[in-house]
Structure 1
């Protein structure tokens, strides 16, 4: 197939998708701009910022950025809603949220298409993001009675600040569970993308009387209202360590309950291992969404004597990866393509990775594989500045960010080791991670090694994930601060329990949440 044969699948063009969103929720979209939502009303406050899609540079709706004054008004309005909602019977809360889920499910494909255009997800990844939100909240609807026994809502609304990569399955999911637990929920829309999807989702949910707030703005401008305000009952943050550190510093003085999920270098260690066919399948799956997710595995720590076998399994996979325009088809009736990944979040991120890789190689890193954008599946003449072909670097130099930090893109690094001590040291390079995995034929050896890994979850011959339903999620070291979440702990993190209760999590030993 030649590039000239490809076209955007009819009906999935940005103009068509945006028009469908406006028709579905006209109260939230005014002309060609998005609105902010607080106090039960959609508002024009805020200055729209121009935005382009990472998919092909198409102009799309940008976030309507509010200032600190408007944000403070929104938080006060949310507190008023919180005071009323917290007294609503659980039966009523469950009915309203179930109805909101039905509306969201009815617009599932539209929400997914917005995610494709705004943050470059493939169709498979976008629909999975929406489905995980809906299925996850339905699970909480079934389990919530036992989770709320002897518990009560927080003293104020929950403030949510999350990265752009999972607007539905992380941000919207969290807000709906927080509301189910009796809290008003505030979300700062990610500046880099996903705001139109969140606007539509918030509009559909708000029609059922849920106490949600959605505002856009810069972090420094809004931090006084969303982080430092004594009105806030809990701050839930998902993002990088730099921004997370600033949020944590702001919280020191307030003592506000917090959940801070931050990045870490998730590693896959390979020691005394031989099931390479299974491993190859895990490698391919790891490239979902171009590794732009908190549980991606960008580092392989490999026993030196297994390096040739590792390469024989690894290289064919990365050479066979497919990437390109997520909505490009050869004929109108064709299904959307099954790609491994699409673009990065923007062209600035693609350039950053390009520069980082070049610097690492220039300092002595060995380029095991460098993909070519020419292998991508693109429209004729399409802008491709946000795309990045897969790269693998052997032994990234200690002076490179690739040595200790998460690249957040399709860049793998491989480190060779000779002893178990070296394996553990290399896998603990970032002082804490969310997940790690060990490929090892002997489970007892793997379990022994896992005990010394600075990761919250360790998989034996399999990857680990968030586990938003019946499994606890957190991080070790600098990858997490505050309360752990997942299943019952997510509900406990946003409710108060018996006097003197101590929530499980990573926070200083002296921390006791006010009101707990």
Structure 2
């Protein structure tokens, strides 16, 4: 039959038949391998469930039914404009006297909604709730924590068009960009659940007769998650799920411009069954509650994605030990980039131009991975520019509520004026080669802009713009291009277009970036396939969506036992064993009482 012909050959070799139609979402029970390689002080236990992780699919808006679902969602979300959303602390809705409003960057007079603004009292209450909840959550078995994430993924899938529509209004994303953000959030849920099942059980360090020595991991404690607005569901969800599945209690602070989406994600986890206090949602000013939480002695770790300026302040502050603090704070900091794409002399320009335009101007260039510098070799420069300028002229700028828009508004008035200042300064340093026209009068719209005659030392080459501005530099040869590309404080993404196998291999070895892409866009990392993150001033080298990302949220521990009994030892030592869960006695030791 067709079904038999399409079966994975590994199923036939291993004799493992996965659950029919498995998509990796909530309610699935992964197929057991049937092996028995677990031990609990000599007793064998069933192997933990396992399955092959699979990324969620993207919505294809070519199909009329998908377009209609999106239009319906946009109408329904618009009808809810002005709703108020509370803080969530210890599972309870908390209202305050102050509200923060969230507006539509395409039409700033439209208020998407309001959120309650937290002050220091609410923030302290959230820390205490998380501390209490941690003692129970840390002892919750790995499988239960993984299933919470899978239920959340299923709810995200069910609310996919609704959440995408909110992104269109609240942060100005085009349809496909908004859907991609929700898809990535689902992927984070499923991937981190999968990873935790693989690493969440004690594993034998070496097989030595007469001794069992197992390494395993415990959670860190209370994790603070500070998220950006540009991927308002995906990045927030990714950091939150990594902290939750590893057994930490979480205080999440969504970015102010995307506060409504933060509240909606909180609803998703509440529906999925997150226990009270395990996940708390605070809205407020970063300079007030964010700074307070970073300095708090009861916050063991901080996961941050955002600007270099804020990230460095967090890193510096977290390094100071304060009265009552018993843990060294762990900081996961993912910051910006000044990403370069090099075009070799023999590059396929059809491929190069399409991917460069998308990398530079997709979501208005408001991605830390966006192409900000295009470096073309001299012998190919004129051909590249001719094709690039023609392609840029085809960009559709407008309100992303309409299908087919490729460039929407920047996030707010502050960003609008900052980017305009960079463009005006660029006009005095370089040559303005292209600037789009037919820009909407209403809203924070910046025209896609291309500068040429840019030199490596100019502001346009060194400053992260975070807007629809592309700087084009000319290189003498590949040596010069690599030197220019690497000559920044950042090391996040980089790209190379070429047909030369030798040059491609050289680029793989010499480009200084956390993610190097060859003959494709330098944006659009996929969870599990492209672990994402940079170094230098782009971050601490962590890789979101990678096999080792969860280790940032854990502390390693080794338990060793002499198992010789009157000169005899078991013939075999199991590879893995049951969990060493967070011990109850720590409630009076390392838990709440330790900070009294």
Change over 3 Å in CA distance of 1:260–1:242 after alignment to 2: same
Within the alignment, does 1:195 sit opposite 2:195 as a pair? no
Aligned with 1:65 (options 114, 117, 124): 117
Following TM superposition, by how much is the alpha carbon of 1:318 offset from its aligned partner in structure 2, in angstroms?
Answer: 0.5
Aligned partner of 1:303 in structure 2 is 377
What are the ranges of 5 or more consecutive residues in structure 2 without an aligned counterpart? 1-69, 203-215, 322-327, 560-589, 591-596
Within the alignment, does 1:265 sit opposite 2:335 as a pair? no
Aligned partner of 2:307 in structure 1 is 240
What are the ranges of 5 or more consecutive residues in structure 1 without an aligned counterpart? 1-8, 22-30, 329-336, 501-513
Aligned with 1:230 (options 294, 297, 300): 297
SS at match of 2:492: strand
How far apart, CA to CA, are the structure 2 residues paired with 1:252 and 1:177? 22
What pairs with 1:213-224 in structure 2 (closer than 5 Å)? 213-224=280-291
Within the alignment, does 1:386 sit opposite 2:434 as a pair? no
Within the alignment, does 1:321 sit opposite 2:395 as a pair? yes
How far apart, CA to CA, are the structure 2 residues paired with 1:94 and 1:457? 28
SS at match of 1:298: strand
Within the alignment, does 1:148 sit opposite 2:200 as a pair? yes
Aligned with 1:284 (options 353, 357, 362): 357
Counterpart contact for 2:221–2:249, Cα < 8 Å: yes
Change over 3 Å in CA distance of 1:485–1:399 after alignment to 2: closer
SS at match of 2:432: strand
What pairs with 1:414-429 in structure 2 (closer than 5 Å)? 414-429=472-487
Within the alignment, does 1:371 sit opposite 2:436 as a pair? yes
Change over 3 Å in CA distance of 1:406–1:474 after alignment to 2: same
SS at match of 1:498: strand
Change over 3 Å in CA distance of 1:230–1:154 after alignment to 2: farther
Aligned with 1:356 (options 402, 410, 422): 422
How far apart, CA to CA, are the structure 2 residues paired with 1:155 and 1:411? 41
How far apart, CA to CA, are the structure 2 residues paired with 1:82 and 1:259? 20
Aligned with 2:85 (options 34, 48, 59): 34
Following TM superposition, by how much is the alpha carbon of 1:164 offset from its aligned partner in structure 2, in angstroms?
Answer: 0.4
Aligned partner of 1:179 in structure 2 is 244
Following TM superposition, by how much is the alpha carbon of 1:13 offset from its aligned partner in structure 2, in angstroms?
Answer: 5.8
How far apart, CA to CA, are the structure 2 residues paired with 1:397 and 1:444? 27
SS at match of 2:511: coil
Following TM superposition, by how much is the alpha carbon of 1:237 offset from its aligned partner in structure 2, in angstroms?
Answer: 0.8
Aligned partner of 2:154 in structure 1 is 102
Change over 3 Å in CA distance of 1:471–1:190 after alignment to 2: same
How far apart, CA to CA, are the structure 1 residues paired with 2:80 and 2:241? 24
How far apart, CA to CA, are the structure 1 residues paired with 2:433 and 2:401? 31
Following TM superposition, by how much is the alpha carbon of 1:457 offset from its aligned partner in structure 2, in angstroms?
Answer: 1.7
Change over 3 Å in CA distance of 1:143–1:50 after alignment to 2: closer
How far apart, CA to CA, are the structure 2 residues paired with 1:477 and 1:314? 30
Aligned partner of 1:340 in structure 2 is 406
SS at match of 2:295: coil
Aligned partner of 2:145 in structure 1 is 93
How far apart, CA to CA, are the structure 1 residues paired with 2:195 and 2:464? 35
Change over 3 Å in CA distance of 1:142–1:483 after alignment to 2: closer
Answer with 1 or 2: which has the greater Rg: 2
Of 100-109 and 286-295, deviating more is 100-109
Following TM superposition, by how much is the alpha carbon of 1:399 offset from its aligned partner in structure 2, in angstroms?
Answer: 7.1
Within the alignment, does 1:442 sit opposite 2:500 as a pair? yes
SS at match of 1:269: strand
Counterpart contact for 2:504–2:518, Cα < 8 Å: yes
How far apart, CA to CA, are the structure 2 residues paired with 1:290 and 1:10? 22
Aligned partner of 2:130 in structure 1 is 78
Following TM superposition, by how much is the alpha carbon of 1:359 offset from its aligned partner in structure 2, in angstroms?
Answer: 1.5
Within the alignment, does 1:209 sit opposite 2:273 as a pair? yes
Following TM superposition, by how much is the alpha carbon of 1:20 offset from its aligned partner in structure 2, in angstroms?
Answer: 5.3
| CA RMSD, Structure 1 to Structure 2 (Å) | 2.4
Following TM superposition, by how much is the alpha carbon of 1:183 offset from its aligned partner in structure 2, in angstroms?
Answer: 1.7
What is the aligned length?
Answer: 466
Counterpart contact for 1:160–1:186, Cα < 8 Å: yes
Counterpart contact for 1:347–1:387, Cα < 8 Å: no
How far apart, CA to CA, are the structure 1 residues paired with 2:78 and 2:90? 25
**What is the CA deviation profile of residues 347-375 of structure 1, one whole-angstrom value per residue up to 9, with x for unaligned ones?**
3322322221111112x310111111x1x
Change over 3 Å in CA distance of 1:50–1:473 after alignment to 2: closer
Counterpart contact for 2:146–2:197, Cα < 8 Å: no
**What is the CA deviation profile of residues 414-443 of structure 1, one whole-angstrom value per residue up to 9, with x for unaligned ones?**
111214443223212322221101223222
How far apart, CA to CA, are the structure 1 residues paired with 2:264 and 2:79? 12
How far apart, CA to CA, are the structure 1 residues paired with 2:191 and 2:254? 25
Following TM superposition, by how much is the alpha carbon of 1:72 offset from its aligned partner in structure 2, in angstroms?
Answer: 2.0
Counterpart contact for 2:147–2:193, Cα < 8 Å: no
Of 139-148 and 81-90, deviating more is 139-148
How far apart, CA to CA, are the structure 2 residues paired with 1:172 and 1:456? 22
How far apart, CA to CA, are the structure 1 residues paired with 2:505 and 2:398? 39
How far apart, CA to CA, are the structure 1 residues paired with 2:188 and 2:139? 24
How far apart, CA to CA, are the structure 1 residues paired with 2:174 and 2:408? 6
Of 256-265 and 393-402, deviating more is 393-402
How far apart, CA to CA, are the structure 2 residues paired with 1:341 and 1:443? 34
